[in-house]
Homo-oligomer: A and B are copies of this chain.
Amino acid sequence: MQDHLTSTFSALADPTRRAMLARLAQGPATVTELAEPFALALPTISRHLKVLEGAGLITREKSAQFRPCRLEARPLEEADAWIGTYREFFSQRFDALEAQLKTMMAAKAKEEDKQ
């Protein structure tokens, strides 16, 4: 799983894990807390967390028998930066749409002039 982006995106490619991140965005949580919303066995949850940890999306401390998980921004920022590369492309597309819209409106106006 070589580079960061690959492990980050593949970690994000799972709804359960995305939901976990959403939960963690509101503050740290234990494994059991994170498991609560899902109909999944704890070992399964544990493994999802390991994937997230492997991607650097979360870190965990060891506090008594609990393992509080904490969201880490770094990989998300990197993913954001990668997608950011295409933002120009988004706007181009948007501009094109806008241009087309203008053309249509102009045509329509012209049409109405005739009447």
Contacts and interface: CB of A to CB of B under 8 A. Distances in A.
Interface of A: 2-3, 5-6, 9-10, 12-15, 18, 21-22, 25, 71, 73, 76-77, 79-80, 82-87, 89-90, 93
Contacts of A25: 85-86, 89
A86 B76 contact: yes
B6 A9 contact: no
**What copy number does this chain have within its complex?**
2
B10 A6 contact: no
24 contacts: A2-B15, A6-B13, A6-B14, A6-B15, A9-B10, A10-B10, A10-B13, A12-B13, A13-B13, A22-B85, A25-B85, A25-B89, A71-B86, A73-B89, A73-B93, A76-B83, A76-B86, A76-B89, A76-B90, A77-B90, A80-B84, A80-B87, A80-B90, A83-B83
A80 to B, nearest CB: 5
